[in-house]
């Protein structure tokens, strides 16, 4: 058989394969790929496997059923594509209708209506008597959806390549930094840098939330802290604040401040830990995975809570958004046990991060400890005594007490941590302790209507500097300037004195 004959035979084989399934599979792929492309810098491609597998299997089953009913594979493809569209659009349609309608609409009302409309459209396609028109609709739809898929796949490719390069770089440096011996390390103090995520300023809590947090301010000052009551951050996004803190300068050299992968790279290989390591510091990172699982900071010690149980939650944030989009949404209560299980793991994780701060006596001094505590930021999982709250309130910003109770719980734990740390050191030679929030409470749904626009920039900023005269400090010192101040006063001066 000649090459030409082989190609002809292959073409005949292809013509014998029904292609009606292509349209529903393409349509089912699009919303998943689109969502992934919009979140490519914070999710992993492995998270595509489960939803794509389910979507493809479901669309093929629909195609097979409607093809048998109509005895036309292309007609079955168009009808099943209609049902797939309604399946993925359900959540958006429900939210839109409930937003514009005064009716007290429930899923038990809206779901049957949605299925009826999809079935009605499918019925008219099934009885259509113009095969040529149907063929054209099929072809145009396939091309249009394929084009949309390509448009969303194209930006995914460079992002995945960048992720791969970051992974290779992190693997080659996975042992962390090696402590140096440049300075007179015996004269260097231990430094604890603790960031409380979304902890509001004293002023914001007083004026916006009606909560007097002066007890915490008095506690800090009684322990020798300087409290910068009017401190403001440069940014309100954690993924921008953290690299600016750890590199001790504003983030201005990026083409896009929201380039998440580049920002994570700046966290992983940051200037603060490199500089302090050269001076003989042991570097420690706590809780960095709460910011992003992609963070693999180059420190001598890394502490992140690792769940070793076999009961892994398959509904993560990415998958949950997909569930919320679809007709599965009315049945989301099925996942309640997994949600509760996930909340328990989150509680253990947050408590682990807090406790670990007081358990570093075996880490060689001088040490630089950077801890990012995802509190009082949502999910809301503690009341003011540390007890569980209703899982339905994990993102409830409308009830002010939910956020406040988690903030109070956080405050009490920080006070215990400060007392514990100070007891571990001589009274006349305490460690440096920096307590800051990355940003204040942001404009979440349910918050914006009663919170001024600039409140998220107002932050908690308090620090204990031993044998330091606070008189020259302003109470509006930005968080980003505190660590350079510490290094200049305690490290660089020591090096200069030893050089003299």
Chain segment 463-486, per-residue pLDDT in tens: 999 989 999 899 999 999 999 999
Q: Where are the beta strands (DSSP E) in 299-408?
A: 301-303, 367-373
CB count within 10 Å of CB 362 equals: 6
Range name among 149-153, 161-165, 257-261 with the lowest pLDDT average = 257-261
Give the separation between CA 312 and CA 31, rounded to whole angstroms: 25
Kindly report the pTM of this predicted structure.
0.69
Quote the pLDDT of residue 99: 76
Residue 309's pLDDT band (boundaries 50, 70, 90)? very low
In this model, does residue 458 exceed pLDDT 60?
yes
Q: What is the CA radius of gyration of the chain?
A: 28
Chain segment 36-57, per-residue pLDDT in tens: 888 776 677 888 888 999 999 9
Domain parsing of the chain, residue ranges: 3-154, 182-307+328-499
* Domain 182-307+328-499, classified CATH 3.40.1390.30, yes or no: no
Report the chain's terminal Cα–Cα distance, integer Å: 90
Give the HSE-up count for residue 158: Cα atoms under 13 Å, Cβ half-sphere.
Answer: 5
**Which residues neighbour 360 within 8 Å (Cβ) at sequence distance 6 or greater?**
284, 367, 369
Residue 183's pLDDT band (boundaries 50, 70, 90)? very low
Give the separation between CA 51 and CA 59, rounded to whole angstroms: 12
In this model, does residue 169 exceed pLDDT 80?
no
In this model, does residue 400 exceed pLDDT 60?
yes
Give the HSE-up count for residue 348: Cα atoms under 13 Å, Cβ half-sphere.
Answer: 11
Chain mean pLDDT for the chain? 84
Quote the pLDDT of residue 197: 95
Quote the pLDDT of residue 196: 97
Range name among 95-99, 104-108, 332-336 with the lowest pLDDT average = 332-336
CB 74 within 8 A of CB 20: yes
Distances (CA, A) of 252 to 93, 114, 166, 243, 269: 40, 48, 21, 11, 17
In this model, does residue 137 exceed pLDDT 70?
yes
In this model, does residue 176 exceed pLDDT 60?
no
Give the separation between CA 195 and CA 234, rounded to whole angstroms: 15
């Amino acid at each position: 058989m000649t090459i030409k004959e082989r190609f002809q035979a292959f073409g005949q084989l292809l013509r014998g394969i029904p292609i009606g399934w292509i349209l529903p599979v393409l349509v089912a792929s699009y919303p998943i790929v689109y969502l992934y492309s919009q979140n490519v810098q914070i999710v992993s491609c492995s998270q595509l496997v489960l939803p794509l597998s389910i979507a493809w299997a479901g669309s093929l089953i629909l195609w097979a059923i409607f093809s048998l009913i109509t005895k036309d594979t292309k007609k079955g493809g168009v009808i099943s594509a209609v049902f797939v569209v309604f399946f993925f659009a359900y959540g958006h349609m429900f939210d839109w209708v409930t937003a514009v309608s005064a009716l007290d609409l429930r899923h038990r009302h809206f779901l049957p209506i949605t299925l009826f409309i999809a079935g009605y459209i499918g019925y008219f396609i099934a009885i259509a008597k113009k095969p040529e028109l149907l063929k054209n609709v099929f072809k145009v739809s396939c091309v249009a959806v394929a084009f949309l898929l390509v448009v969303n796949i194209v930006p995914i490719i460079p992002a995945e390549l960048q992720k791969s390069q970051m992974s290779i770089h992190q693997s080659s440096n996975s042992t962390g930094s090696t402590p140096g011996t440049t300075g007179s390390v015996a004269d260097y103090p231990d430094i604890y840098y603790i960031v409380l995520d979304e902890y509001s300023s004293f002023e914001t809590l007083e004026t916006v939330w009606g909560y007097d947090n002066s007890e915490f301010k008095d506690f800090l000052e009684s322990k020798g802290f300087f409290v910068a009551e009017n401190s403001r951050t440069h940014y309100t996004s954690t993924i921008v604040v953290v690299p600016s803190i750890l590199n001790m300068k504003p983030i201005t050299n990026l083409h896009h401040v929201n380039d998440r992968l580049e920002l994570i790279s700046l966290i992983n290989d940051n200037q603060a830990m490199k500089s302090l390591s050269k001076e003989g510091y042991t570097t420690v990172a706590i809780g960095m995975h709460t910011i992003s699982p992609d963070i693999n900071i180059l420190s001598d010690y890394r502490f992140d809570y690792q769940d070793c149980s076999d009961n892994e939650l398959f509904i993560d944030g990415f998958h949950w958004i997909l569930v919320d989009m679809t007709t599965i949404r009315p049945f989301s209560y099925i996942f309640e046990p997994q949600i509760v299980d996930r909340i328990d793991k989150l509680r253990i994780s947050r408590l682990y991060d807090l406790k670990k701060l007081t358990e570093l006596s075996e880490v060689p001094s001088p040490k630089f400890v950077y801890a990012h505590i995802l509190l009082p930021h949502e999910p809301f999982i503690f009341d003011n005594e540390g007890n569980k709250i209703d899982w339905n309130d994990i993102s409830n910003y409308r009830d002010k007490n939910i956020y406040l109770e988690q903030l109070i719980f956080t405050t009490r734990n920080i006070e215990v941590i400060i007392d514990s740390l100070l007891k571990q050191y001589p009274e006349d030679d305490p460690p440096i302790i920096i307590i800051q929030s990355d940003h204040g409470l942001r404009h979440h749904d349910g918050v914006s209507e009663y919170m001024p626009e600039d409140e998220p920039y107002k932050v908690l900023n308090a620090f204990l500097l031993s044998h330091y005269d606070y008189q020259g400090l302003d109470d509006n010192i930005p968080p980003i300037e505190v660590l350079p101040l510490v290094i200049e006063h305690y490290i660089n001066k020591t090096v200069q004195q030893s050089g003299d």
